[in-house]
Amino acid sequence: MATSVIDKKESGESVSDPAHLYTAHVPADCWPIVYSPIYNISFLGMEKLHPFDAGKWGRVVNYLKEAGMINDETIVVPREAEEQDLLLVHTKRYINSLKYSLVVASITEVPPVAFLPNFIVQRKVLRPFRLQTGGTVMAGKLAVDRGWAINVGGGFHHCSADKGGGFCAYADISISIKFLFQHVEGISKAMIVDLDAHQGNGHERDFMDDDRVYILDVYNRSIYPGDNYAKRAIRCRQELEIGTSDDVYLGTVQRSLQRALYEFTPDIIIYNGGTDILDGDPLGALSVSPQGIIERDRLVFATARSRHIPLLMVTSGGYQKRTARIIADSVLNLRSCGLIGREGDTVELMKGGCLEMEPSAERLCARTLNG
C-alpha cells in the first residue's frame, strides 16, 4: 500500500491539532509526490458535465507508474483537510454555505449537483477537494524537508476565504501557506508563481496587502475571471493575448521569474502549474505546445533549485484529456534533468539527459540556471 500519513490515534495528536495534516516522517525511498485515488471525481457522469478533466490526477500517476518512476509504496497519501484546517483561511459562513448543494453546483459549474442531497455532495464532490487541499498542505511541508514536492492535484486558485468558483471549492494554496507560516520554523515569506492560463484571483484576494506573500501571475487577459480588484495584489503581472505561443510565453515567464526573485527573496515558492495554456484548450485560449509546457516546468524548477528555494508544485487547470500525459512527461523530464529525485538520488540523476529542447529554449534554461 502507499505510504500514508500516520494515524491520529497512533501519533497521540489531538484531532484539533492544526498541524495534523503533516506527517511525522516520510521514508527516504518515498518520492515527495502526494496523491490519493480519492482525488478523482467520478459520480453519476458528473465528470462529463464540466470541461475540467476530473480524472486526470489518477491518469498522471498511472503514467508515472508505467514509466517505472513510482509505485504504490513510494508515494505519499495525504489526510483530508477538516473544518478546523479550512477555517485557517475560510470564514465559517463560507464553510456553512457548502452545506447547500445549490452553492456547490455554482462553484463546480455543474447545475445537476443542485438537485443532489448534500450528504452525497459532501462525500462524492467536496471530499475529493478536501483531500487535494490536505495534499497541498502536506506537499508544502515536504518541499521544505526535501527541497521540492508535487501535489498531483490542487491549485484551486479561484477560491478565496469567503467565495468559491471556477471549479475551486477550497483555497488550498492559501491554506498551505498559512500552515507553513504557523507551523514550520524559518518559513515567513512565500512567493506564488501562478502560470495557469487564468488569473489566480482567489489567493490574490486572500493575500491582499500581505507583504509576506509575493504574487507573480501570468495569464490570458481576455478570459475568466477578470477580477480587477484582485489584480491589486499581483506584484509581477503579465497579461497575455489570446493565442500566445511558446516563444513569447517562455520569454515572458523567464523575465517575470528574474524580476520577481530580484524584488523578493522567498523562503518557499508555490508553483501553480496549470496545463490549460496548451494549444486547443477550450477555456485557456492560449497556444503553448506540449514541449512548451515541459520547458516551462523545467524553467521554474531550475530557477528554484539553483537558488536552493523549496518548491511546491500543484497541477491546477487543464481541460483536455492529453494534459495528464503532458504532466507525467514533464515530471519524468524533471527527473532526467536531475532537478528532482528521492533522497540520495541526485548524483545518479544528474548523469541522465534532459528531454531535447529547441536551441532557443535551451539557451533560456541555461540563463536561468546560471542566475
Residues 6 or more apart in contact with residue 44 via CB below 8 angstroms? 112
Running DSSP on this structure, what letter comes out for residue 192?
E
Does residue 330 contact residue 318 with C-beta atoms inside 8 Å?
A: no
- As given in the structure block, the three cell numbers for residue 210 are 500581505
- As given in the structure block, the three cell numbers for residue 63 are 503514467
191-205 as b/e: b if 16+ CB within 10 A:
bbbbbbbbbbbbbbb
Determine the Cα–Cα distance for residues 173 and 156; give it in Å rounded to an integer: 7
The DSSP line for 9-39 is: HHHT--TT-TTTTS-S---TTS-SEE--GGG
207 closest CA partner among 190, 227, 223, 224: 190
In terms of phi and psi (left: phi > 0; alpha: psi -120 to 50; beta: otherwise), the region of 249 is alpha
Does residue 54 contact residue 324 with C-beta atoms inside 8 Å?
A: no
The one catalytic residue in 158, 183, 203, 308 is 158
Concerning whether 158 is annotated as a catalytic residue, the answer is yes
- As given in the structure block, the three cell numbers for residue 181 are 507560516
Name the residues annotated as catalytic. 158
